[in-house]
Amino acid sequence: MFKSIKTDFKLEIRYKTNVVPRRFQVEDLILRKAQLIQIDNKLAPKWTGPYRVKEVLGGSIQVGNIGWQGDTTNMECNKFTILF
């Protein structure tokens, strides 16, 4: 029992050292990592977007396509990177 708790604690520390916290603000431009079904071949783009952040909602953000009026979707934060 004690050994599994110790192992879980080590795994948690290892995970937290590799996680990069990201803070999004309204009007940021972001890219979304493409899903495997969207990648046809090895030369296909690995990212989709860009999307504009409409609202920050705790662990997720509400985004909309650039140039599209009213097209918004809820997406998880950990699948994004900020486009500079």
Mean pLDDT calculated for residue range 40-48 = 86
- pLDDT surpasses 70 at 77: no
Mean pLDDT calculated for residue range 21-28 = 82
Sheet holding 47-57, edge to edge: 72-76, 60-65, 47-57, 29-33, 80-82
Looking at residue 80, what is its pLDDT?
56
Mean pLDDT calculated for residue range 41-53 = 85
- Residue with the larger pLDDT of the pair 74 and 13: 13
Report the alpha-carbon distance of residue 67 to residue 80 in Å, rounded. Answer: 19
Q: What is the CATH number of domain 23-82?
A: 2.30.30.140
